[in-house]
Structure 1
């Protein structure tokens, strides 16, 4: 027998032994004795009921509060566009040169730098402590922006806003991914993100309502937008400290656990059957640099950069595009809401179909195409009705690709320490998408922004190509695993999703 044949035989024997051990362990855990198959099935049904109950409890306790806090963070991040329309341009001179683009850009500098470090702190101090602190801190910054005396004060506030918001989104992605199996996760990401989309849709209407406080206590309407949004954020942070839960391996040690010990164990058993990483594995320098050497993580990060370019471009510049169509300030705010709200059903539908089919790449490509079509309509349509329809199409495709890309990466990695680094890296590159979007839309091209729209279209074309490359790579890896040549992610039976 050759050395290669001997190694293959040993690999098959080891795999078989581990599978037998896994089945034996499962029977022992569920039956507690040498029960027959029928008893095992009854106990298995009971275990499934416990898992479903624990998952429902987690859904209600974890996803809504994280979604609400992230929604307010996104509103705080982009309410500068509403403030500009509400009079900030006039009072602080943001209509001069590239001041507005500078204020948009500086946010993403600190946002990019502190993504991964924040995830490391999150694990050490606890999810509720860290995420609620970040939320309270950026709320205070937004409130302070309402008292800015000159345009550079707003720039400083945007720098601090990026610092504190940096850790929230990757922290939420990391926390949610540690609670759900690979084909439960897309729907949860979609609901989490849809709360943000829905709230942002009405954020413009809220901003218009707040504008009516113009002149109250001597403050212009744009100042009240910052002051009230900041106060709302700080209140939500206090609520988050009470409701946000920790990681599955920590939640049973909390003072007020929301799951029973049996339910916690059911969640952990479910995660171990799915990918064997319910327990935290400490992040070491070796693991960190090993993660950084995986080109797939960089590919996912660059793909997320491409996705966020169109999301940020539409978020920052839709109000300005609508105003450039000749609509009044009131109509600009009101017309910003329906396209965002209409995107929510599409985001939820795609997540359900993607989890059901256990596929991600085809949906990413479809939605990138929708984004391109929407941008082209906005850029080249002759009448305002068609342009407005293009905003609907573009927003649906762009927003739905956020949870889809997050879920695709989460499906193809194992280990909580790797997940910590990967989610931070991916979301950090999303910040670069914000930098890109804020610089390619030039003031001199109002209201068509042709250069910016084509630059964002180029990013969507890149997304399609990179997705196809990852599909080719993962299919090749899966076929090698099917032939018994390799073990994927150090887990027998693991297969990549594409």
Structure 2
């Protein structure tokens, strides 16, 4: 359970440094939980809190989850299109053309993360997210008409330009609505939604290939065309229904809005945005823990991207037909979705982040070893289940770990953008180390991915020791206030 290091204690009841150092963690935990509950119930009834949070969940999570699912499908459907005929038509078997087309998407995706989050606060969530979704939908549609692999690369670059602003905006917005121990379940929901639908996207794509040869187009072209049109339509729905920041929302009444802002203010003291300045950006980027979180996110996304881009190719290398490879790619994603939400529920319930991420990372390592060295196809397929489950659960875990340990909108904006940019670097890493020359087992790529998981465990250890020490010093009155916020303690 979370101790005083994980909760913000209102200054009015905070014990003296000497006295607090004499209390054991269980006592501090009980006091903080009681105060949090009483202070919230004094002004707002539990029924009002429950109904308001349910209203926020219904307004935000389904649409955002669907949008992120579409984003993930649109960036990783290249592998599906490849075995559906694109490789032959665009001669992607020549050299490293497929890896280049996969990789160059991530260049603008990485570079535009931070600028996109700055623009987000200026334009507002509704306008900015609409621009992003419609923009990448058009790029996706264009991929259905490319005559050569060079034009395919160009469309992938534009896909990266418009998707760059979407995911960090999504995480930023969600974390401004909830208290710290409520965040991971919400992040897991839309990520769960995305990997669940992403798993069945291969089956959907197979159905789209059956449209060929209508319109004189091949099956892989219909995949991009239909999915591009769907994305553009969702972009228009985004403009009409997407939620904005709490202080700008249009779907809650005045009392409900105040409830949301008060809960966040009592939890971490940053319910309203602070002014973004270059000085603040430089200050936030000087915090080494932000870069540690960024490297952890790289380590989490690398196996997720590798499986997304190469699962159908690995399955086809086992001797399965195109149809069977597409169909068999869905079950590992269903299992990953279950792991994602299960770990998120436990993490929020126990208010522990690092320990759960470490367990998930060990699962990923085990799954990768099985896929790499098992002799029969059944065991290798089982390895994909385990690796995908562990890696997918780590993604919202790392995002929540970071979100729980920053205060202020400016630091949240900067850290979210930097961390997700490193996720793009993980995508580049995944698309370049799984080389065509290593087909069909991709042992070098798998070992590179395993190495990233050991780096993840090292960084988890470093941040855990650092945050534990800072919390102890702050409780003893030797350091603080942490993050410039009286009563704030790091979540570990």
**Shared fold (TM-score, shorter chain, > 0.5):** yes
C-alpha RMSD over aligned residues:
1.6
Alignment of 1:496 with 2:481, yes or no, is no
Give 1:465's match in structure 2, choosing from 458, 470, 476: 458
Aligned residues: 461
- 1:134-213 superposed matches below 5 A: 134-213=132-211
Q: Residues 217-267 of structure 1: CA distance to partner in whole angstroms, max 9, x if unpaired?
A: 11000000000000000011111111111101111xxxxx21110000000
* Alignment check: 8 A CA contact 1:51 1:270 kept: no
Pair 1:319-2:317 in alignment: no
For residues 266 and 366 of structure 1, the distance between their equivalents in structure 2, rounded to whole angstroms, comes to 36
Please give the alpha-carbon distance, in whole angstroms, between the structure 2 residues aligned to 1:160 and 1:474.
Answer: 40
In 2: Cα distance, 1:386 partner to 1:135 partner: 39
**Helix, strand or coil: the match of 1:382?**
coil
Displacement after TM superposition at 1:50 (Å): 2.1
In the other structure, the counterpart of 1:110 is 108
> Which of 358, 363, 382 is 1:365 aligned to?
358
Q: Deviations over 1:349-371 (max 9, x none)?
A: 11111111111111111111111
1:316-359: CA deviation from partner (whole Å, max 9, x where unpaired): 11111000000000000000001101211211111111111111
Is residue 44–residue 259 contact of structure 2 (8 Å, CA) maintained in 1?
no
Alignment partner of 1:62 is 2:60: yes
Is structure 2 residue 214 aligned with structure 1 residue 221?
no
Instruction: Report whether the alignment pairs 1:237 with 2:262.
Output: no
Separation (CA, whole Å) in 1 of partners of 2:326 and 2:271: 45
C-alpha distance in structure 2 between counterparts of 1:434 and 1:310, whole Å: 9
**Residue in 1 aligned with 2:69?**
71
Query: What is the CA distance between 1:45 and its match in structure 2?
Result: 7.0
Q: Does 1:417 align with 2:415?
A: no
Distance in 1, matches of 2:349 and 2:9, equals 29
Q: Is the 8 A contact 2:302 2:426 kept in 1?
A: yes
Single out whichever of 339-348 and 457-466 deviates more from structure 2.
Answer: 339-348
Return the structure number with greater relative CO, CA threshold 8 A, min gap 6.
2
CA distance in structure 1 between the partners assigned to 2:88 and 2:241 by the alignment: 41
Equivalent residue, structure 2, for 1:271: 264
2:377 pairs with 1:379: no
Matches within 5 A, 1:249-328: 249-251=247-249, 257-328=250-321
Q: Note the 1:91-106 alignment, pairs <5 A.
A: 91-106=89-104
CA distance in 2, matches of 1:369, 1:42: 39
| 1:491 CA drift (Å) | 1.9
1:89 corresponds, among 77, 87, 90, to: 87
Unaligned runs of 5+ in 1: 1-14, 22-39, 252-256
| Alignment match, 1:340 | 333
| Structure 2 spans left out of the alignment, 5+ residues | 1-7, 15-37
